[in-house]
Amino acid sequence: MYQPMLFIHWKQASWPLLPISVAAFGLPLLSVQGMGGNVGEEGLFAAAYSPLAVIGLPLYPILAFLTGAALALTSWNWDHQQNHVYALSLPLARWEYAMLKMGAGAVLALIPVTALWLGAHVASASVTLPVGLSAYPNELGVRFLLAVALSYALFFAMAAGTMRTNLWIVSAAISALVIGVPILASFGFADAALQFLWRPGGPFEVFTGNWALIDV
């Protein structure tokens, strides 16, 4: 049952997943452009702060976010198109069907994650780092995996619901921003609330943490 489900999900997700995987492999390579060879400390410094490297850092979480979203949305796309009639006529409990789907997406997420991890290793191996700097390809891979998992879980939960449910969620989120933030700000809590979301240990910290492949 699981294998055909994986195949079905692959059929739906392959078109966004392939370019995402290529990007995931290429991004670490791009981030070390100019660092290779004998460029000296000044060259390395210039390369580390080149526009490409600066732009490159936020691209990792964005790519992770997109990967999760693409996998989750393609997961339910065909079922929504058929008004879920097919899924509901199959002889398995709804939770079991949802778990099979989620599991299939989780396995497919390993493709771009592996691509990024490999790209990070290739990129690390292609530069000679001076003393004091290190490459963190495994850490980058794990961070990407966690960010994809978080994004996938959020979007999967939303995509599994009806359009009406999603409108409620989006409306509630917008209302919270429009009404909640000014109220919190008036009490001086707005910064604290936002900090709670992004701070180390917060629910979205994985997106805002350190994405550097080369660091001290």
Partner 1 sequence: MNNAIELNGVGWKAGKGFELRDLTLRVPTGSIYGFLGPNGSGKTTTIRLFMGMMRPDRGDIRLLGKQVPRELPRILARVGFVPERPHVYPALTVGEALRYHASFYPSWDRSWSGDLMERLDLDPVRKISRMSKGETGKLLLLLALSQRPDLLVLDEPTDGLDPVVRRDVLTAVLDYVSETSATVFISSHLIHELERFCDWVGVLDGGQLVAELPMQSFKNGIKRIRVSNAPHVPGDTPFVILRRSGIDALGAMETWTVRGWQDPMRQYFEGVGATLRDVIDLDLEEGFVELLRSARPNNHRS
Across-strand partners of 134? 215
74 by Cβ neighbours in 10 Å (0-12 / 13-18 / 19+) ranks as buried
Which of 215, 214, 216, 213 has its CA nearest to residue 25? Answer: 213
Q: Minimum Å distance from CB 22 to partner 1? A: 22
Q: Minimum Å distance from CB 104 to partner 1? A: 12
Based on CB atoms, which residue is closest to partner 1, 31 or 74? 74
How many CB atoms within 10 Å of residue 13?
Answer: 24
Q: Minimum Å distance from CB 93 to partner 1? A: 5
Based on CB atoms, which residue is closest to partner 1, 8 or 29? 8
Based on CB atoms, which residue is closest to partner 1, 100 or 123? 100
User: What does the binding site for partner 1 look like in residue numbers (CB under 8 A)?
Assistant: 1, 3-5, 7-8, 11-12, 78, 82, 84-86, 88-93, 96
Could you tell me the two tokens for 152?
Answer: 């996938």
Q: Minimum Å distance from CB 77 to partner 1? A: 10
Residue 4 Cα distances to 1, 7, 135, 161, 208, angstroms: 6, 5, 39, 23, 36
Based on CB atoms, which residue is closest to partner 1, 94 or 199? 94
Q: Minimum Å distance from CB 2 to partner 1? A: 9
- Element at 35 (helix H, strand E): none
Phi, psi of 215 (to 5 degrees): -150, 175
Based on CB atoms, which residue is closest to partner 1, 90 or 110? 90
Based on CB atoms, which residue is closest to partner 1, 96 or 191? 96
d(CA 112, CA 117): 8
Q: Minimum Å distance from CB 96 to partner 1? A: 8
Q: Is 3 left (phi over 0), alpha (psi -120 to 50) or beta?
A: alpha
